[in-house]
């Protein structure tokens, strides 16, 4: 699989990932102590939904646009508020002026005492990332391999924070690489919060991945998945997940309220649904 963010900006996977990411950051900021946000595969930071890549696919119409046009009950509106605030106003189609990727989302949410480390190896994307994020004394943008960054930048001096690992899954052994890199980072920083994004196509591979993670972290694990149709190993991406290690204690409860609603709004085929599991498989 080759998952270039620009072609899929604002789609169902982005909605799922960024809504959960915002919930984690919102929780971490309940304490005054500073935190570090590390994004190992940052992409370009902000996406023009009217641009060439996003226009070719139009996936935002079945993602962020559906959420923006849906009636949101009060509990759902409250849970989505931190993420939706980063998007700004949308037009009548439900399209924001630009779509905030994870770096821009974190930049918008974090406080003056917090710090961001954004890593991107692609030579064109790193320049686009720097241009999109602008000058910010809290932030460093680095042209570095994401897995190398994961090993190099933990533990942070703040001792609190969130690591997002969101690789493009271009390599056939990406699940194994991700599990191994996480285990190494966790051994150095076992108190950090880690969010590992992954596609869901072959359930056996994903199950093996979670067993590896559980072995590394002692089962301090939350498995969240959202499918908009039934996944197939050779089919297009219709299901994805986030493995959250050291999840905030409120996150599972919030996910049980939020994900079924998102699943219903974003579904477009048989087999749609969500999965929420705590602890070791």
CA pair distance 54, 269, nearest whole angstrom: 22
Q: What was the pLDDT predicted at 2?
A: 47
- Residues facing 118 on adjacent strands: 39, 141
Report the predicted TM-score, pTM, of the whole model to 2 decimal places: 0.95
- Choose the catalytic residue: 125, 166, 173, 207: 166
Cβ contact 37:116 at 8 Å: yes
Find all residues with CB under 8 Å of 11, minimum gap 6, and list them: 57, 59, 60, 62, 63, 64
Sorted by where each begins, the domain ranges of the chain are 5-278
CA pair distance 128, 64, nearest whole angstrom: 22
Q: Is 32 a catalytic residue?
A: no
For the domain spanning 5-278, the CATH number is 3.40.50.150
Q: What was the pLDDT predicted at 54?
A: 61
Per-residue pLDDT of the chain (281 residues; tens, 9 = 90+): 445 676 778 999 999 999 999 999 999 999 999 999 999 999 999 998 877 676 666 798 999 999 999 999 999 999 999 999 999 888 888 888 889 999 999 999 999 999 999 999 999 999 999 999 999 999 999 999 999 999 999 999 999 999 999 999 988 999 999 999 999 999 999 999 999 999 999 999 999 999 999 999 999 999 999 999 999 888 889 999 999 999 999 999 999 999 999 999 999 989 999 999 999 88
């Amino acid at each position: 699989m080759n998952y270039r963010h620009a072609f899929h900006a604002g789609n169902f996977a982005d909605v799922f990932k960024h809504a959960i990411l915002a919930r984690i950051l919102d929780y971490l900021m309940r304490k005054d102590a500073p935190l570090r946000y590390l994004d190992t595969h940052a992409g370009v930071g902000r996406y023009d939904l009217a641009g060439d890549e996003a226009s070719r696919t139009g996936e935002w119409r079945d993602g962020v646009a559906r959420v923006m046009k849906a009636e949101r009950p009060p509990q759902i509106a409250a849970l989505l508020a931190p993420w939706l605030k980063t998007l700004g106003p949308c037009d009548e189609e439900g399209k924001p002026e630009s779509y905030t990727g994870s770096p821009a989302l974190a930049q918008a949410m974090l406080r003056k005492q917090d710090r961001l480390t954004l890593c991107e190896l692609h030579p064109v994307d790193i320049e686009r990332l720097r241009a999109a994020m602008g000058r910010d004394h809290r932030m460093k943008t680095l042209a570095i391999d994401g897995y190398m960054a994961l090993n190099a930048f933990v533990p942070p001096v703040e001792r609190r924070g969130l690591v997002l690992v969101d690789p493009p899954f271009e390599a056939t052994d990406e699940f194994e690489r991700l599990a191994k890199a996480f285990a190494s980072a966790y051994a150095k920083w076992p108190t950090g919060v880690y969010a590992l994004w992954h596609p869901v196509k072959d359930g056996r591979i994903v199950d093996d991945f979670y067993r590896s993670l559980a072995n590394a972290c002692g089962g301090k694990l939350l498995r969240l998945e959202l499918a908009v149709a039934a996944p197939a190993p050779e089919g297009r991406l219709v299901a994805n997940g986030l493995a959250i290690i050291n999840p905030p204690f409120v996150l599972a409860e919030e996910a049980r309220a939020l994900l079924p609603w998102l699943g219903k709004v974003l579904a477009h085929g048989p087999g749609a649904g969500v999965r929420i599991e705590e602890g070791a498989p």
